[in-house]
Amino acid sequence: MAIELAPTIVGPSKQELGKTASGSVPIRAWYYNPTDDPPSHPHQYTPNREVSVEHLIELGVLTWTQIETEDYHTNEFLNNIKVDRSYNYGEVLTVAPDRLNNFEALTQKFFTEHLHEEEEIRFILDGIGYEDVKDFDGQWIRIEIKKGDLIVLPPGMYHRFTLDENNYLKALLLYQGKPCRIQFDQGPDADAMEVRKRYLESVLLCKQNGDIKDNQLENISYEDKTKDDQLENKSYEDKNKDDQLENKSYEDTKDDQLESKSDEEDDVSVVYTPTIHSLELATTNMSFQAMTV
């Protein structure tokens, strides 16, 4: 039975959403290990592959923990969230073999992969259950929901639900407007729904495009580094060439100096030889003249 809620407390700021009601214990989540164990088992890897609250938020999943369940109608923290997110209707549902008609059939249906056209909002009043949601790459993430936890799944997100081994959970189901719990099982028809397309565009594809951009930036950075290395190598090669040219110029200058020195020595010899001849000739003439006298 649906009941209308009329909270009168001003809602929290956007920055306050997602915080725990008290303390700082985040909701527990991990990657689902698809063993042959019954769905009610934890299905954890060894070691456990935990998933952060930040990653859940990227998928569109909002969670709050440690909210007081006693007198929840007047709980200030819970009422602030109701006002801020326009949750104005609610109903209490107990999922247990002796409290839910067609328990086996309904719990099997809940564990079938499906989506809703509206948000799925569950405030757990007692017991423990598991919400499984799809990650960006299609892996299942298991989220443990227990007494005092509030979870919001976005419209168009594929998910499934099961109880833990105790087979008992009592929850307050909240709605924006009139209560609606129509389930659309995964398949071509659900894939083609506008709500599914919007979820893909707003969450999954945005994440993929962000990863592509990050990879492109990383590649650009790598290319720039490669170009810098090439320029550095080119600069090094140019420096080597300049050094070689400088050494060649120095060797050419040395050769010119040696050649000039050789030419100078040759010039001295040419000048010196006639001088000797002149002296000899003068001496001979003097001797000749003496003899003549």
Residues 6 or more apart whose Cβ sits within 8 Å of residue 18: 53, 57, 62, 63, 64
CA proximity to 64, closest of 18, 118, 129, 97: 18
- Give the sign of the dihedral formed by CA 141, CA 144, CA 149, CA 155: positive
Amino acid identity of residue 118, one-letter, is E
Two tokens at 12?
Answer: 């929290």
55 annotated to a ligand binding site: no
d(CA 60, CA 76): 24
Provide DSSP, 40-81. TS----SS--B--HHHHHHTT-EEE-----TTGGG-HHHHHH
73 annotated to a ligand binding site: no
Task: Give the C-alpha distances (Å, rounded to integers) separating 17 from 10, 13, 24.
Answer: 13, 7, 13
Task: Give the C-alpha distances (Å, rounded to integers) separating 161 from 48, 140, 281.
Answer: 20, 12, 132
CA proximity to 151, closest of 178, 121, 174, 125: 121
120 annotated to a ligand binding site: yes
d(CA 20, CA 151): 12
Bridge-partner residues for 120, per DSSP? 153
Which residues participate in the annotated binding site for Ni(2+)?
Answer: 114, 116, 120, 159
Which residues participate in the annotated binding site?
Answer: 114, 116, 120, 159
Which residues participate in the annotated binding site for Fe(2+)?
Answer: 114, 116, 120, 159
